[in-house]
């Protein structure tokens, strides 16, 4: 719902979804990235946070 609300307000050429790695991300457990790819007609970029590099 949040992505849909944001697109209605701002519009976008691309959606970037940042998550923790598999096993630490509830968004990945809920399949948010795949659902967004199916639902929205803009490119979706999925970025996984590298916890070791983030410090």
Q: Reply yes or no on whether the pLDDT at 54 is more than 70.
A: no
Class of domain 2-54: alpha beta
What global pTM score does this model have? 0.81
Instruction: Give pLDDT, residue 11.
Output: 85
Map out the domains of the chain as residue ranges: 2-54
Q: What is the DSSP string of 9-21?
A: HH--S-EEEEEPP
Do the bridges between strand 44-48 and strand 15-19 make them parallel or antiparallel, or are there none, so unpaired?
A: parallel
Q: What is the mean pLDDT of residues 1-30?
A: 93
Alpha helices in 1-55 (DSSP H): 2-10, 26-29, 32-39, 51-54
pLDDT in tens, 16-32: 999 999 999 999 999 99
pLDDT in tens, 33-44: 999 999 999 999
């Amino acid at each position: 719902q949040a992505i849909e609300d944001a697109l209605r307000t701002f519009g976008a050429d691309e959606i970037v979804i940042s998550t923790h790695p598999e096993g630490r991300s509830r968004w990945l457990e809920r399949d948010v990235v795949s659902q967004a790819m199916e639902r929205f007609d803009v490119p979706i970029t999925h970025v996984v946070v590298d916890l070791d590099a983030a410090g």
